[in-house]
Amino acid sequence: MNRLSEKGLRVWRLYGIIETVIVLLIGIGVSVITYIFEGPWWIFGVSIAVVTVFAYLFIYLFPKIRWTRWRYEVRDSEIELQHGLFIVKRTLIPMVRVQHVDTTQGPILRKYELAAIMISTAATNHTIPTLVTEEADELRARISVLARVAVDDV
């Protein structure tokens, strides 16, 4: 089984920082409203605790567990994905079911030279996140060829 790029861990932590800033702004808003309307002082402590716990979970803990648990493998007849924080999910995608394969790259992924692969079947879409761009392009081409061969064999 292949692992995701270690740069992906940094990207997920960056996403956690962005989410934490949003939660911090909400906490500041709640604190200001509490101050203006002379609400109870313990709300300030709760706001600080919520932001601190959120920051620890979404900047450090969850990205580390997510990166550690994410695995993928592309075989001739199927693609296997394994991921999950608390509940580990394993997915097998038969090559004959693959309709098309895309790579996506937003501004943050582009900065870290990463890309995500989206594998589309008739029923669902599956994503392999945070692969090195060159590896993602090679994997997309390989899956495309294997899917074409698998359809021709049927």
pLDDT at 151: 64
pLDDT at 153: 67
**Res 14 pLDDT > 90:** yes
Which residues are 66's β-sheet partners?
A: none
pLDDT tens for residues 20-67? 999 999 999 999 999 999 889 899 999 999 999 999 999 999 999 999
Tokens of 83: 């991921």
Sheet with 2-3, side-by-side order of all strands: 2-3, 71-74, 78-83, 89-94
Angle at 116 between CA 112 and CA 140, to 5 degrees: 120
Sheet with 114-120, side-by-side order of all strands: 100-104, 114-120, 125-132
